[in-house]
Amino acid sequence: GETGERKPLPPTSDGRSPTAYEILHVPPSASQQEIKTSFWRLARQHHPDKTPMEQREASSLLFLQIHAAYNTLKDPQARARYDLELSFQSSPSFTTDLRTPHFCSPSPRIFAKHGEPFTPRTTASAYTPRSQLYTPRGPNAATATFTPRTPYSGRNWETDQCW
């Protein structure tokens, strides 16, 4: 067994969190069997029930890291998504999380003209077909006039830009 206090893996020297591969002590090219074998070895070694009481809290945190890493890598599809995410994060041009709001909705100031504030259109999305913007009103379709529909209350400028 291992001596000394067991702690969750700290951030790496460059400040990032350890990858699932680093937590499981396997290379990214590891086979599913190698990942499983490493998981079982580390899980037995760091299981909270197998550690002294004074190390139990740290051991629990490390065990949870090991378990989460294995859950990420055991499913080939989840692993492929994770690998893709890692490749984006290690790319030199990757500087921020692509899920941050500024990637899906630019600042309204970009659209302001002549110093006037931009007022986003709230009645419909730019992608709403013209036929869906109006509701016929009148005794029959031939003589109907059209009235703008009330927008869905959950929509706003942000969601229209993102979706």
> Which domains does the chain possess?
20-95 (1.10.287.110), 102-162 (no CATH)
pLDDT of 50 strictly over 80: yes
SS3 state at 116: coil
What does the pLDDT read at residue 141? 54
pLDDT in tens, 53-72: 888 888 889 999 999 999 99
pLDDT in tens, 87-121: 887 766 545 555 444 444 444 444 445 555 545 45
Q: What is d(CA 2, CA 14) in angstroms, rounded to the nearest whole number? A: 27
What is the dihedral sign for C-alpha 116, 122, 128, 129? negative
Q: What is the pTM of this model?
A: 0.50
Top pLDDT among 79 and 6 is at 79
Q: Which two tokens stand for residue 114?
A: 């002549």
